[in-house]
Amino acid sequence: MSKDLIYQKGIVMIIVLKENPNPAELNSLRDWLRSLNLEVHYSQGSSTTLMGLIGDTSQIDLDMMKSLPVVDKALRIQDPFKKASIKFKPEPSVVKVDGVSFGDGSLPIIAGPCSIENESILMDVASSVKSNGAHMLRGGAFKPRTSPYSFQGMREKGLELLIAAKKKVGMPIVSEITEVSQIDLFEEVDLIQVGARNMQNFELLKELSKSKKPVLLKRSPAATIEELLMSAEYILNGGNENIILCERGIKTFETSTKNTLDISAIPVIKSKSHLPVIVDPSHGTGKNNLVIPMAMAAVAAGADGLMIEVHSAPHTALCDGPQALVPDEFAALSKKISNLKEHL
């Protein structure tokens, strides 16, 4: 099957059949594919028979397909995500959050404490990061934790404090949602964060797709880039185009850092998708002394923004203190980023 034929017919998946396939099993495969509203085209070579599929093949699991007795190989000609694909929208998307733009080269910085602990710390950090170049204030009110005995956040009270800080310092805010029932509570939150643990909470993604409110979608530590983009597809498919992706580290065999920050994900995502992508080096490394160099590396690799944890007293923090910068360190990072931008 030539490339010209593939493009002319719009074939999006090719199945290479084994030699002398069982006719009954082959007919069963063909009938199943047609039941999925796929067009099936055959190409007979001297020793190989190919099946070319046209239609929405995102519902087909490649591993399952390859396991069938009559199938030798299966490969996609087109990515399973459609609206998130750069082929669907060749120009980069720009997502605007209350005057802050992601994807236009302005490189905004989101900064603030991992979790909202009390009014005093939140207000101090908010004022500090605002005066030192941050564009948005982050703060977790609902905190999904590995241990049920760890601090779970101030919940509704935390959101109230975050909204109060927004009004006091004049910065748009971002906070993490953990379940569908919380959506109404986030009416005054400018950017809703879907955390790594909820990246594949598809019911939550479907509900967020019904809104025009911007969504910050974090990559799960065990997710491939394709899986991240498929999660974004759920939101796009429902009509919400305001999505910002976030690389925040993945799990590998390395133990010297909390996660392995996948810097290569930035150019890879940009080669596949039009959506803006930011980087969270705080969660990506879990270590205060690594945040600044990895933030610089992310910017050099083409990130559309940064998300940095800042706390006025990290040693007393109830969540992720070891990875937080103190205000003076954030000020230094902000200056370094500004200087780096001038040379890119």
Q: Kindly state whether residues 156 and 44 are assigned to the same domain.
A: no
What CATH number does residue 247 fall under?
3.20.20.70
Q: Tell me the CA end-to-end span of the chain in Å, nearest whole number.
A: 44
Question: What pLDDT sits at residue 8?
Answer: 44
Q: Which of 27, 47, 76 is the last residue of a domain?
A: 76
How far is residue 128's CA from residue 114's CA, in Å, rounded to a whole number? Answer: 15
84 lies in some domain: no
Report yes or no on 85 lying in a domain: no
Total domains, the chain: 2
Spatial neighbors of 114 by CB under 8 A, at least 6 apart, are: 140, 143, 282, 309, 311, 317, 319, 320, 323, 324
- For residues 66 and 117, membership in a common domain is answered with no
Residue at 306 is within a domain: yes
Q: Is 209 found in the same domain as 113?
A: yes
Q: Is position 118 within any domain?
A: yes
Residue 59 lies in a domain: yes
Claim to verify: residue 141 and residue 285 sit in the same structural domain: yes
Share of the chain above pLDDT 70, in %: 97
The model's pTM is 0.85
Q: Does residue 283 contact residue 221 with C-beta atoms inside 8 Å?
A: no
Radius of gyration of the chain (CA): 23
In the chain, which ranges are E strands?
A: 13-17, 39-44, 49-54, 71-76, 95-97, 100-102, 109-112, 136-138, 173-177, 191-194, 215-218, 243-247, 277-279, 306-309
Distance, CA of 113 to CA of 332 (rounded, Å): 17
**183 and 236 belong to one structural domain:** yes
- On whether residue 269 sits in a domain, the answer given is yes
| Closest C-alpha to 281, from 273, 300, 270 | 300
CATH number at residue 7: 3.30.70.1140
**Chosen domain end from 76, 109, 131:** 76
Q: Do 139 and 104 touch, CB atoms closer than 8 A?
A: no
| 254 within domain boundaries | yes
Whether residue 108 sits in one domain with residue 25: no
Please check whether residues 323 and 222 belong to one and the same domain. Answer: yes
Both 267 and 326 in a single domain?
A: yes
Can you give the length of the chain in residues? 344
pLDDT computed for residue 198 by the predictor: 97
Residue 319, Cβ density class (10 Å: 0-12 exposed, 13-18 middle, ≥19 buried): buried
- Structure tokens that stand for 139 in this block: 């703060």
Report if residue 133 sits inside a domain: yes
Residues 191 and 236 grouped into a single domain: yes
Per-residue model confidence as pLDDT tens for the chain (344 residues): 544 444 444 568 889 999 888 999 999 999 999 999 998 988 777 677 888 888 888 888 999 999 999 999 998 877 888 899 998 888 999 999 999 999 999 999 999 999 999 999 999 999 999 999 999 999 999 988 888 888 888 999 999 999 999 999 999 999 999 999 999 999 999 999 999 999 999 999 999 999 989 999 999 999 999 999 999 999 999 999 999 999 999 999 999 999 999 999 999 999 999 999 999 999 999 999 999 999 999 999 999 999 999 999 999 988 889 999 999 999 999 999 999 988 88
Residue 297, both tokens: 């590396």
- Residues 163 and 108 grouped into a single domain: yes
Same domain, 127 and 207: yes
Which residue, of 76, 109, 125, is where some domain finishes?
76
Range of the domain at 267: 95-342
Give the H or E element holding residue 296.
Answer: helix 288-300
**Where in 197-335 does DSSP place strands (E)?**
215-218, 243-247, 277-279, 306-309
Is residue 218 packed enough to be buried (19+ CB in 10 Å), middle (13-18) or exposed (0-12)?
buried
Kindly state whether residues 320 and 287 are assigned to the same domain: yes
The string of DSSP codes covering 21-52 is: --HHHHHHHHHHHHHTT-EEEEEE-SS-EEEE
